[in-house]
Every structure is written in structure tokens, then in C-alpha cells.
Amino acid sequence: MAERLALFATAARGTEDLLAEELKELGAKRIRQDRGGVRFMAALDEALNVCLWSRIAMRVLYPLGEFDAKGAQGLYDAVASVPWEEHLTTNVTFAVDANLKDTEHAHSGFVALKVKDAIVDRLRDKLGSRPDVDTRNPDVSVVAHLVKEKLSLSLDLVGEPLHRRGYRVRPTPAPLKENLAAALLRAAGYTGTEALVDPMCGSGTLVIEGGLIARKRAPGIGRSFAVERWPHLGTRAKELLADLRADARRNERRVEVPILGFDKSDEALEAADRNVKAARLGEEVQLAEGDATKLPPLPEGGGLILTNPPYGDRLGSGGQKGMKTFYFKLGDSLRALPGWRVWVLSGNPAFESAFHARPMARRDVWNGPIPCTLLGYRAPPLPPGSKPVLGAPGESLEVAPVRPEHQDE
């Protein structure tokens, strides 16, 4: 049996359970949720499959250990105790990414420098010379996480974070990260077999991620991974990834359902169009000008409406009263569409009451530093004789572990 590696995949706060579900589907073993991510076991080919296919993970880390690290000298000694010669050679480049929480050190740059010094000093002692540092495109990325006086050290298998799929060539203000958009789609039960609409699509992230799901396209198909350049695993990783990529391309499917994005802003639609084309989804995703409070007729048969309305900083004048009026009109528009389930990512506490409907489910998530709530609303029934489009979920859809509202009523 192939040796399994103990790994940790990071994710946006509030999406850890969704990532755990996804990792199970991708073949990971001994899965355990943790704050900010999921721990799991995987052989090398399984770990590479996660790198290629995970839509929700941000990074996939190979932990090297946890250490007590009191003071600058304690930090240096802890790092120097790691057998770096097993992971690095003098012919590769590396970089250190340090993040801190409640520590005696004021700056992450200082911690990163001490970690770097300890690594190069040990390698110079063991190998006779030291590798070079490349902060832009290193062969090996070392991740140092210091909480109080507890230091965790890991190697990053992916390099460039997984949410950077490569299609965002034209951003708009405050876009959703790609992995959060994918997590919202999973929470809403989207599998690519029902129609999808985002009435405020912005730069198009939600409809693009929906298109990738519907197309059954691996989100990492167009990129390389740092592990392919690791000195001791790189050759084997390249061989395995070549096979995994070939299988992924063979198994893509045609999109049989409409995927639609609307926005009032010409600038947003231009950005979305550029991004959709960069994602090679020009035939699958359709964009059009539209006001979310006065949507044009949508395809018959219903499906999923998923959107991320403004939180309050891009609505112009009117303040919170104007926000509530907008949310009220949005509720009237979106809840009057037979067969369409509505899911909304809200970053404004006023949204839920102004939308004037009871959600069937809710989930607390973080959009970067912003605490948000994902709210799901039941679809009004279809007219008699109508049929849902393809495999659209019905009212019995389970969205565990999203907690139901008003369970005592």
C-alpha cells in the first residue's frame, strides 16, 4: 500500500464542513475538521488529485511539526531542529510565508526572516552551501504559523493559492474569492444539472464556478503546482499529475442547462465577459444587462438563484434606509419566480428582515474579513404541468449541516 501523508487543507471560515465533504469524495481518508481547514490522510496520487480537483480548499499543506518557540532564539532553535536536508537541496529556491496570532513578535516579516536564517544555517552546516530565496516563484514554500509561543511548520504543495484559478483577468471591487463561490454553490446543493442565475454577477465568479461544475472541469487543470518542483517528489508528482490531467480532460461533459449572469453595470459586465472567456466558458455562461429588482423572464422549469448583493458601500446615497429599500425590492423580485430556489450571501445585518421572508436554512461564513450569512429560501411551486429542468433539486433537498431556522415553530 502506498504511504499516506498527513496533510492539512485550508479553507474560508465557515466552509470547513463543505471542504470535508469534498475531500471525502476525492478519496481522502481519516478526515477531521479543524478551525480554518481540514486534516486528512492521502497517498501522493490522492493528494495530487485534491490539488487538481478541490474547489473549496485554499492551500494543501504538508505539516512538518509543532514546536515551542519562546523568544527569537527559541524560534530559531525550533526551526533549526527540523531536518530540512530531507526536503530541500542547494539547487532549489524557497520562500517563507509567516502568519502570527497573539505573539510577542510584532511583525510577520521578522518571524519569516528568523525562520529563513535557521533553514539556511542548517543546510549550510549539513550540505556545505545554502539554497537561494525566491519570494515570487519559489520551488518550495515554507509556511510558518505562530500562535502565542506555539510554532507550526509546513510545506505548501500547491504554491499559488488554489483559489487563483487563472481566469480573473478583470476584477471588480470586492469580488468573491473563487473557492468561497464554489463553497456557496455546494452549500446551495448545486451540482451542475439545473439552471443557475446570478442577478448581480459582478465580475462573474459565481456563474464561472457554476460553469466549471456543470462542465465537470477540474479547477486546477490549467495550472502547475509547487510539489512538481520539489527535489525528492517532483519527478513522480509530474508523472502522476500528467495522468490525472489527462483523465480530467477526457471526463469533461457538455453543459445542458442555462447559466446566466445579469448586472446593471456595463463595467461589471465587461469584466465578467473577459473572465468568462478566460475560463473557456464562453458558450456555457451567458451574460446580459439586467436589474436584479426587475429581472427579465427566466428559463421555465426553475433552478437556483445564487447571488452576493452589495453590503452597503456601493449603493450610492440613501444610507441604511436606502439599503433596506433595495433589499425589500430584491425580495419582491426574487421570491416571485416559480421553481427558483434563492440563496443569498448577506454581509449586512439589515438584509434578512428587509428581504421579508423566512429562510429555510442559514450558514455563517466569512468573506475575507467580513462576517456574512448565507441564507436559503424555498422555491415557489411551479405551475401545474411544469417540469423542473433536468436534475433540479426539489423541496426535499438536504443541505446538511446548514442549520434550519424557526425549528421550534
CATH hierarchy code of domain 5-156? 3.30.2130.30
Q: How far is CA 319 from CA 9, 301, 313, 315, in A?
A: 40, 37, 9, 8
d(CA 311, CA 324): 11
DSSP 8-state code for residue 2:
P
Would you call the peptide bond into 384 cis, given omega within 30 degrees of 0 as the criterion?
no
Q: Please provide the distance, in angstroms rounded to a whole number, between the alpha carbons at the two ends of the chain.
A: 53
CATH architecture group of domain 178-217+253-377: 3-Layer(aba) Sandwich (3.40)
* SS3 assignment, position 38: strand
CB atoms within 10 A of CB 71: 11
In angstroms, the CA 13 to CA 97 distance is 20
The one-digit pLDDT tens for each residue of the chain (409 residues) are 468 999 999 999 999 999 999 999 999 999 999 989 999 999 999 999 999 999 999 999 999 999 999 999 999 999 999 999 999 999 999 999 999 998 898 899 999 999 999 999 999 999 999 999 999 999 999 999 999 999 999 999 999 999 999 999 998 887 899 999 999 999 999 999 999 999 999 999 999 999 999 999 999 999 999 999 999 999 999 999 999 999 999 999 999 999 999 999 999 999 999 999 999 999 999 999 999 999 999 998 999 999 999 987 554 556 788 899 999 999 999 988 999 999 999 999 999 999 999 999 999 999 999 999 999 999 988 777 666 655 444 433 333 333 333 333 2
Q: Which residue has the cell 532553535?
A: 77
The rounded distance, in Å, linking the Cα atoms of 376 and 378 is 7
Secondary structure letter of residue 291 according to DSSP: B
Cell readout for 59 is: 492551500
Compute CA 294 distance to the chain's CA centroid, rounded to the nearest angstrom. Answer: 30
CB 278: neighbour CB atoms within 10 A? 18
C-alpha pair distances (Å), 63 with each of 46, 105, 135? 17, 22, 20
User: What pLDDT does 335 receive?
Assistant: 87
Residue 156 DSSP one-character state: E
* Region(s) of the chain under CATH 3.30.2130.30: 5-156
Neighbours of 364 (CB within 10 A): 12
Per-residue pLDDT at 125: 96
Round to whole Å and give the CA distance between 129 and 126: 8
φ, ψ for residue 116, nearest 5 deg: -60, -45
In terms of Cβ atoms closer than 10 Å to its own Cβ (0-12, 13-18, 19+), residue 3 is exposed
The residues of the chain that CATH labels 3.40.50.150 are 178-217+253-377
